[in-house]
């Protein structure tokens, strides 16, 4: 095995490790409300979420192609240079994922990876690699605008969706209504888990595809091979099954106490926003975390503004804002470290 192929295999293994951390970091997204309302038992919820993540990950590749081709352009670099940038990006993203998981903050794994790619690319520009271009215009269009828009849309749709539910069922028995919504939550949680697989696994597919192009296993214009899709789908599914209990407690209980009706509306809203982002022409790599958290806040606000624990919400939003620059800065440090280590050898 040549050094280039060995490095590519190592990068792909680290990409799958990132995918695994994405799974357990974001496991709470789809099932936190269903578990907190007792619609599903925790282990059954994780099993369902893992299976739906697997299915969702195999449903498309448009978001993966955005990650692979529209965040940083590595086309003119040598093989080992391309791989060193991808490696630093992954290490920066994984580090930020682990930090936010430790503190129980539902930050975005997607934005951590995008920040890592932009940061590693910027590191290459800083040492005057002429053939690297960080696509700031595309990052603004495909990442930053959807990053602001998707939580706003999630909050608004969830708020008015919950207002409609309260009006439709205003004369119904509360006990029977909540019992029915508890059953409906199984479907809405499954739909959200499918959307999570559709969005988040594709980001890892894009990174593995970049490594595959670097060593000549794929061409830039090729469709993403099935073996890459299968690897990414399996890794995120396994990570989801391992669970992310710290973040689950934050989403399920600390932002607001969610009842089955509000849980159903929040999950259904989150799924709709994820599907729209994946299947509309923009193919935006949006954050499942941002979408479901804002939807939970939206349904909570129908009870009263004071029902939402805004102090917890502020900490979550702070993590959102910091994710891209923090993962990017960490990736720059890893990039310089890889260049130093490479120079020693």
What pLDDT sits at residue 255?
47
Cβ atoms within 10 Å, residue 80? 15
∠ CA(315), CA(251), CA(150), 5° rounding? 75
Confidence tier at 160 by pLDDT (50, 70, 90): very high
Confidence tier at 18 by pLDDT (50, 70, 90): confident
Domain count, the chain: 1
Mean pLDDT taken over the chain = 83
| b/e per residue 185-220 (b: at least 16 CB within 10 A) | bbebbbbbbbbbbbbbbbbbbbbbbbbbbbbeebee
Contacts of 135 (CB under 8 A, 6+ apart): 70, 71, 72, 73
Q: Which of 21-25, 150-154, 281-285 has the highest mean pLDDT?
A: 150-154
pLDDT at 99 over 60: yes
Confidence tier at 345 by pLDDT (50, 70, 90): very low
- Rg for the chain (alpha carbons), in Å? 20
Contact 209, 74 (CB under 8 A): no
Q: What is the mean pLDDT of residues 140-164?
A: 90
Helices vs strands, H then E, count in the chain: 13, 2
Provide the residue range defining the domain that includes 92: 3-344
CA-CA-CA-CA torsion sign (88, 193, 292, 28):
negative
Contact 295, 29 (CB under 8 A): no
Q: What is the mean pLDDT of residues 261-279?
A: 89
Q: What is the mean pLDDT of residues 100-112?
A: 77
pLDDT at 271 over 60: yes
Confidence tier at 307 by pLDDT (50, 70, 90): low
* pLDDT per residue as tens digits for the range 77-93: 888 888 899 999 999 99
Q: What is the mean pLDDT of residues 126-150?
A: 85
DSSP-derived 3-state class of residue 72: strand
Q: What percent of the chain has pLDDT over 70?
A: 88
Contacts of 32 (CB under 8 A, 6+ apart): 247, 248, 250, 251, 252, 292
Residue 93 CA to residue 112 CA, distance in Å, equals: 5
Two tokens, residue 74: 């590595």
pLDDT at 252 over 50: no
pLDDT at 165 over 70: yes
Contacts of 121 (CB under 8 A, 6+ apart): 71, 72, 74, 85, 89, 132, 133, 134
CA-CA-CA-CA torsion sign (91, 94, 99, 105):
positive
Residue 238 CA to residue 234 CA, distance in Å, equals: 6
């Amino acid at each position: 095995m040549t050094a280039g192929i060995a490095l590519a295999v190592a990068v792909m293994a680290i990409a799958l490790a990132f995918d695994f951390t994405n799974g357990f970091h974001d496991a709470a997204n789809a099932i936190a409300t269903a578990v907190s309302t007792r619609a599903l038992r925790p282990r059954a919820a994780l099993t369902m979420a893992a299976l739906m993540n697997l299915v969702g990950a195999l449903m498309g590749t448009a978001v993966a192609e955005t990650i692979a081709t529209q965040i940083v352009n590595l086309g003119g670099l040598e093989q080992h240079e391309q791989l060193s940038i991808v490696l630093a990006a992954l290490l920066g993203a994984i580090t930020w994922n682990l930090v936010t998981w430790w503190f129980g903050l539902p930050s975005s794994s997607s934005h951590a990876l995008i920040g890592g790619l932009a940061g590693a690319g910027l590191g290459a520009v800083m040492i005057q690699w002429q053939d690297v271009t960080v696509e700031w215009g595309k990052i603004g269009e495909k990442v930053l605008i959807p990053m602001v828009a998707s939580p706003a849309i999630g909050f608004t749709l969830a708020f008015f969706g919950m207002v409609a539910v309260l009006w439709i069922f205003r004369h119904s028995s509360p006990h029977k209504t909540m019992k029915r919504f508890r059953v409906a939550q199984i479907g809405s949680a499954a739909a959200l888990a499918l959307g999570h697989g559709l969005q988040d696994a594709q980001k890892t597919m894009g990174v593995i595809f970049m490594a595959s192009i670097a060593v000549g296993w794929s061409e830039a214009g090729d469709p993403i091979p099935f073996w890459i899709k299968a690897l990414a789908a399996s890794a995120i599914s396994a990570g989801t099954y391992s669970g992310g209990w710290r973040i689950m407690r934050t989403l399920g209980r600390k932002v607001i106490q969610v009842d089955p009706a509000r849980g159903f509306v929040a999950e259904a809203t989150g799924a709709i926003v994820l599907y729209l982002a994946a299947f509309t022409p923009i193919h935006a790599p949006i954050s499942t975390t941002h979408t479901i958290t804002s939807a939970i806040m939206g349904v909570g606000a129908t009870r009263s503004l004071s029902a939402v624990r805004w102090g917890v919400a502020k900490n979550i939003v702070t993590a959102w804002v910091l994710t891209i620059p923090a993962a990017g800065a960490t990736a720059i440090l890893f990039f310089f470290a890889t260049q130093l280590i490479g120079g020693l050898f």
